[in-house]
């Protein structure tokens, strides 16, 4: 399990560091990416170091808050997010989340959920910022699904209180947790997807009043608008095809956007599709293939690659993380120390009164 904890945290870091130079591009040619990754893998090449972004900065606060307090405490986590943000605000944070950190700082985090609730005229943010940092929650609570769901929800509410932001964090948490539990070489992609669909269906049933307004949403495709379970059905359909559909189809039906709804299912698809060779991607290592494919889709490349990398690394473990690529990433030693702390703390995790409601 320690190898899987380390694999997950390193997979997330690698996706963030290697994906961030492409964030916002429409899509990235597979041939170009083959060359890019082969240069990174060349031990003779001395290339510029790739810094991590907000995805890893926030993951750090989640990991250290959970491990130092041996469980979830919203106020402590909010203070860490805020301190980290004001120490290094230029890590590429989302544009609206700045106001949450201002509100938290001005109120000394008295109510750690209040500033996020006020976002977007009281709707809250549905960005993927709570999902991109949630892997430590899955690791810390790998033994307890209900608690993992609760903590994933509560940590989301500190910055992303919109139901789609919270549910996206829950889905990403469930995917990392499920990957930790699959036997080595034992992944059944249909069962993996079906289990996630079934859990998300139950969660969505409880939250039947989900707000449907999503900027740039797929208003012409009402069957696939605001349900994670339905997006996962699309993932399943894509996986039945002999090779991935064209990028335009993935963009249209899953998305590569900063919203959680249009990025978390995509990351899960990247993990699952990379279990087999992908035409155009020259790579035998499944974790690298996963990250390379995620980046090739364009859009929110750092975040989709980080989320896909966290799931893939949780399944494959540390041994499968390509070392020649890791040497280009910032803070590898720090990330390993967070993984080790999570592993130690996961056996002594305590219940918190704040995270026992099991509702999103």
CA dist list (Å): 246 to 38, 158, 279, 303:
24, 37, 11, 21
CA distance 44 to 25: 29
Binding-site partner at residue 348 among Mg ion, ligand F2R, none, CB < 5 to 8 Å by type:
none
The token pair that represents 208 in the structure block: 């039947």
CB 115 within 8 A of CB 107: yes
Binding-site partner at residue 162 among Mg ion, ligand F2R, none, CB < 5 to 8 Å by type:
ligand F2R
Binding-site partner at residue 123 among ligand F2R, Mg ion, none, CB < 5 to 8 Å by type:
ligand F2R
Q: Residue 25 or 243: which CB sits closer to Mg ion?
A: 25
CA distance 304 to 269: 10
Q: Residue 19 or 71: which CB sits closer to ligand F2R?
A: 19
CB 110 within 8 A of CB 118: no
Of the candidate residues 21, 41, 51, 92, the single one contacting Mg ion (CB under 5 A): 92
- Output the CA angle 191-151-202, nearest 5 degrees: 40
CB of residue 51 to ligand F2R, shortest distance in Å: 10
Q: Residue 53 or 67: which CB sits closer to Mg ion?
A: 53
Q: Residue 120 or 322: which CB sits closer to ligand F2R?
A: 120
Decide: is 53 part of the binding site for Mg ion (CB under 5 A).
yes
Binding-site partner at residue 126 among ligand F2R, Mg ion, none, CB < 5 to 8 Å by type:
ligand F2R
Binding-site partner at residue 252 among Mg ion, ligand F2R, none, CB < 5 to 8 Å by type:
none
Q: Residue 190 or 211: which CB sits closer to ligand F2R?
A: 211
Interacting residue ranges for ligand F2R, rule: CB under 6 A: 23, 53-55, 92-97, 120, 123, 125-129, 132, 162, 215, 258-259, 300, 302-303
CB 53 within 8 A of CB 342: no
Gyration radius from the chain CA atoms = 18
- CB atoms under 10 Å from CB of 86, counted, come to 12
One DSSP character per residue, 183-213 reads PTT---HHHHHHHHHHHHHHHHHHTTT----
CB 59 within 8 A of CB 15: no
CB of residue 348 to ligand F2R, shortest distance in Å: 30
The token pair that represents 190 in the structure block: 């249909």
Decide: is 302 part of the binding site for Mg ion (CB under 5 A).
yes
Looking at 28-36, 79-87, 170-178, 293-301, which segment touches Mg ion (CB under 5 A)? 293-301
Which residues form the interface with Mg ion (CB under 5 A)?
Answer: 53-55, 92, 300, 302-303
């Amino acid at each position: 399990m320690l190898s899987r904890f380390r694999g997950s945290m390193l997979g997330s870091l690698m996706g963030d560091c290697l994906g961030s130079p492409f964030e916002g591009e429409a899509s990235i040619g597979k041939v170009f990416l083959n060359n890019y990754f082969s240069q990174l893998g060349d031990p003779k090449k001395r290339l510029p170091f790739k810094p991590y972004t907000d995805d890893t900065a926030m993951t750090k606060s989640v990991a250290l808050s959970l491990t130092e307090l041996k469980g979830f405490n919203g106020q402590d986590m909010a203070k860490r997010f805020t301190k980290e943000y004001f120490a290094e605000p230029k890590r590429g944070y989302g544009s609206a989340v700045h106001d949450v950190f201002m509100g938290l700082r001005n109120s000394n985090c008295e109510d750690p959920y209040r500033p996020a609730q006020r976002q977007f005229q009281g709707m809250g943010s549905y960005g993927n910022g709570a999902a991109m940092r949630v892997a430590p929650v899955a690791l810390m609570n790998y033994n307890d699904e209900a608690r993992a769901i609760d903590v994933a929800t509560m940590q989301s509410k500190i910055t992303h209180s919109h139901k789609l932001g919270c549910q996206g964090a829950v889905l990403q948490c469930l995917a990392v947790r499920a990957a930790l539990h699959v036997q080595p070489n034992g992944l059944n992609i249909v069962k993996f997807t079906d289990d996630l669909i079934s859990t998300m269906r139950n969660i969505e049933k409880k939250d039947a009043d989900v707000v449907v307004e999503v900027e740039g949403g797929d208003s012409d495709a009402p069957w696939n608008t605001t349900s994670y379970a339905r997006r996962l059905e699309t993932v399943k359909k894509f996986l039945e095809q002999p090779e991935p559909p064209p990028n335009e189809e993935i963009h249209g039906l899953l998305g590569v956007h900063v919203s959680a709804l249009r990025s978390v299912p995509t990351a899960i698809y990247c993990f699952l599709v990379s279990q087999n060779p992908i035409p155009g991607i020259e790579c035998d290592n499944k974790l690298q293939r996963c990250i390379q494919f995620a980046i090739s889709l364009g859009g929110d490349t750092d975040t989709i690659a980080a989320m896909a990398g966290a799931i893939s690394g949780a399944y494959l473990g540390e041994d499968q993380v390509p070392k020649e690529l890791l040497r280009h990433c910032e803070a590898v030693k720090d990330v390993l120390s967070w993984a080790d702390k999570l592993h130690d703390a996961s056996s002594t995790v305590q219940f918190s009164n704040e995270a026992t409601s099991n509702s999103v």
